[in-house]
Amino acid sequence: MKPLQPDTLIRNPNGLPIVASVVVDCHATRLWNMVGQFAGFDVFIPDLTHIEMTGTGVGALRTKFFRDGNRVVEQLNSRDEQAMHMTWTTIYNTLGVARLWAAIQVKSLGAQCSQVTWTIIAEPTDDANTGFRQFVQGFVDSALDNVRRMLG
């Protein structure tokens, strides 16, 4: 009998990136202080009731609780406070997502103008899920629209 070997279910997704980006009339630091808080996405995503964190910093897990009863568990992969970007991976969800990697980045466009870009690469659990990309795009567009309204 062959000895057990290291294995994992976590794989990076394949596919075309889904990108949402908005320009906000505020300083980049103010924008980053909202979208760069891994534990704080419920501030600008109304579909979330709350977020529970396990751990802090890179490697920490967040569980996002949705109003419709869905849950998503994600791990923070990287975060750079100075460069104002972070990445994360979904490791469990009830939304029909097989694999998901995401990044959010803030850039200064001037003293009182900045841009946030949210990039997602995801695979649905069901290959026949034709509305998946549109659903994800609509979700991130709506979230960043809220950010612009709240800070702009």
**Quick one: three-class SS letters along 86-131?**
EEEEEEEECCCEEEEEEEEEEEEEECCEEEEEEEEEEEECCCCCCC
Say whether domain 18-151 belongs to CATH 3.30.530.20.
Answer: yes
Q: What is the pLDDT of residue 128?
A: 59
The ranges assigned to domains in the chain are 18-151
Q: Specify the higher pLDDT residue, 96 or 72.
A: 72
Q: What is the pLDDT of residue 96?
A: 86
Q: What is the pLDDT of residues 77-89, one digit of tens each?
A: 999 999 999 999 9
